[in-house]
Amino acid sequence: MNYIETSSGKWEVVVGLEVHAQIISRSKLFSTASTEFGISPNENVSFVDAALPGTLPVINSFCIDQAIKTGLGLNGTVNLVSFFDRKNYFYADLPQGYQISQFYHPIISGGYIDIENENDELKRINLDHIHIEQDAGKSIHDQSPTKSFIDLNRSGIALMEIVTKPDMRSADDAAAFLRKLRSILRYLKTCDGNMDEGSMRADVNVSVHRPETEYGVRAEVKNVNSIKFLTTAVNFEVARQIEILESGGKVDQETRLFDSSSGKTRSMRSKEDAQDYRYFPDPDLPPLILEQSRIDAIRETIPELPDAKASRLQREYGLPRYEARIISSEREMADFYEKALSGFNPDKDLAKLLANWIIGELFALLNKHGKNIANSCISPENMGELVTLIKTDVISGKIAKDVLELMWSSRKSPSHIVEKNGWRQITSMDTIENSVKEVLADHTDKVAEYKSGKEKLFGFFVGQAMKKTSGKAYGQMLNEVLKKILDEEETSVQR
């Protein structure tokens, strides 16, 4: 258990999330308007989205398929009958005066995600349910000193609300949950997980209590839109609530706003109860009735998901758990990885080496050029070849970094680049011995110092000999040869 300890004793933290995930779909939940992002205001607005009188919502069945797929991917139960309800409230950017949501009977019940903590222990975070709802529009307050504007492009866009049980016990748990959820949704292609475009955002419920007592009163922090902010918001709330309780006060059940520039939360309104929204079944929409065959067909389309993939990479290639988890976190990265390995029969060391080169060097290059692995200038085949060259000592890891840069700019194969530049590692004993002897002859003073005990100079000799071979000498051989020659000289001097 990770308790928080203060001078007054231990506290346990409880976190539950309500994640809004935008469904990947070309058109909105109840209209045919486009969902394209970044278009000018009010371009993607149909009569239905603007709530003109006399218009009626028509369910977009692709969005339903996406929600079913998500439910199955998150181990939930798909309900054969669910309903749409009106959640009534007034807001300038909500022209209907209500949001169509699912309150009493959501499409998905239950489900779970397994997360791993820093000690690699598995922890199951249960889901309460997933429901479908429409997004609202957006008010714009920064375009005029005297007026506000409304952009209805988002109005009616399909969202899934994924509601967890209060099963998380720290900011780290919550961050791990959101990361894993994002990864799974991206595998399923039901939500793109772009938090900075608002495709995924979380309402964060936080409370604290003394161990072995009932859960505390929670505060809900609205619309947190990055994993970093999630961590900051939870930690801020925990500290705030503990301070209130320790000074004899009571935590209010309220809705709070997160200010990302200060990292603080502040009160927005007291928490509204369900009755405040006057939920009732939407009379414009029939019950949503699903055939089992439709659900079964969608189940067939679910790809291998991150957990299963990580286990398989461990099993099939002997990849360590850590690397397997990182490589599996993105479907495109895992595909790239396996394609790179498919050309040969990799052993454990090569599988790990390749993973490390992708996670480290290749990702640094992708970031530098603002690309992602799916449109990388380096093919999986060439990446596989590069690590084979390292593994078989044809080139050193150091030279390999230069080769990788050239692979990016020229799109040529690593062996082509190595041959063209004469970068093959020198493994000829004679060449290496000669360069070592030259260096020692050039620095007789330093050799004497070395012999009188200044052993640090060994590195200096290595560096000089490397220079003589333009950095191409096989490091391990060079070290051995140097050591041998120095030792021999020593014995001959003593004699």
Binding site for ligand ADP (CB under 6 A): 14-18, 163-166, 205-207, 215, 218
Smallest gap from Cβ 266 to ligand ADP, in A, equals 19
Collapsing DSSP to helix, strand or coil, 24 comes out as: coil
Q: How far apart are CA 25 and CA 29, in angstroms?
A: 9
Residue among 256, 276, 255 nearest 266 (CA): 256
Residues contacting 285, CB < 8 A, separation 6+ = 57, 59, 84, 100
Taking the least distance from each CB to ligand ADP, the nearer of 234 and 440 is: 234
Taking the least distance from each CB to ligand ADP, the nearer of 16 and 106 is: 16
Taking the least distance from each CB to ligand ADP, the nearer of 42 and 255 is: 255
Which DSSP helix (H) or strand (E) runs through 490?
helix 475-494
Smallest gap from Cβ 233 to ligand ADP, in A, equals 13
Q: How far apart are CA 303 and CA 82, in angstroms?
A: 26
Smallest gap from Cβ 185 to ligand ADP, in A, equals 17
Smallest gap from Cβ 170 to ligand ADP, in A, equals 12
Taking the least distance from each CB to ligand ADP, the nearer of 211 and 286 is: 211
Smallest gap from Cβ 243 to ligand ADP, in A, equals 17
Taking the least distance from each CB to ligand ADP, the nearer of 206 and 383 is: 206
Collapsing DSSP to helix, strand or coil, 480 comes out as: helix
Q: How far apart are CA 3 and CA 413, in angstroms?
A: 53
Residue 333's identity, in one-letter code, is: M
Smallest gap from Cβ 34 to ligand ADP, in A, equals 32
Smallest gap from Cβ 214 to ligand ADP, in A, equals 9
Q: How far apart are CA 258 and CA 355, in angstroms?
A: 37
Smallest gap from Cβ 253 to ligand ADP, in A, equals 9
Tokens for 229?
Answer: 């902010």
Collapsing DSSP to helix, strand or coil, 75 comes out as: coil
Residue nearest to ligand ADP (CB): 16
Taking the least distance from each CB to ligand ADP, the nearer of 98 and 474 is: 98
- Strand bridging mode 122-134 / 108-109: antiparallel
8 A C-beta contact, residue 378 and residue 361: no
Q: DSSP class of residue 213?
A: S
Taking the least distance from each CB to ligand ADP, the nearer of 31 and 82 is: 82
Q: Is the dihedral of CA 36, 39, 43, 48 positive or negative?
A: positive
Smallest gap from Cβ 127 to ligand ADP, in A, equals 9
**Residue 52, φ and ψ in degrees, nearest 5:** -70, 140
Taking the least distance from each CB to ligand ADP, the nearer of 184 and 208 is: 208
Collapsing DSSP to helix, strand or coil, 63 comes out as: helix
Q: How far apart are CA 185 and CA 181, in angstroms?
A: 6
Residue among 344, 346, 340 nearest 317 (CA): 346
Taking the least distance from each CB to ligand ADP, the nearer of 13 and 327 is: 13
Q: How far apart are CA 238 and CA 172, in angstroms?
A: 13
Smallest gap from Cβ 182 to ligand ADP, in A, equals 17
Q: How far apart are CA 151 and CA 42, in angstroms?
A: 5
Taking the least distance from each CB to ligand ADP, the nearer of 218 and 309 is: 218
Q: Is the dihedral of CA 313, 318, 319, 325 positive or negative?
A: positive
Taking the least distance from each CB to ligand ADP, the nearer of 209 and 264 is: 209
Collapsing DSSP to helix, strand or coil, 66 comes out as: helix
Smallest gap from Cβ 12 to ligand ADP, in A, equals 10
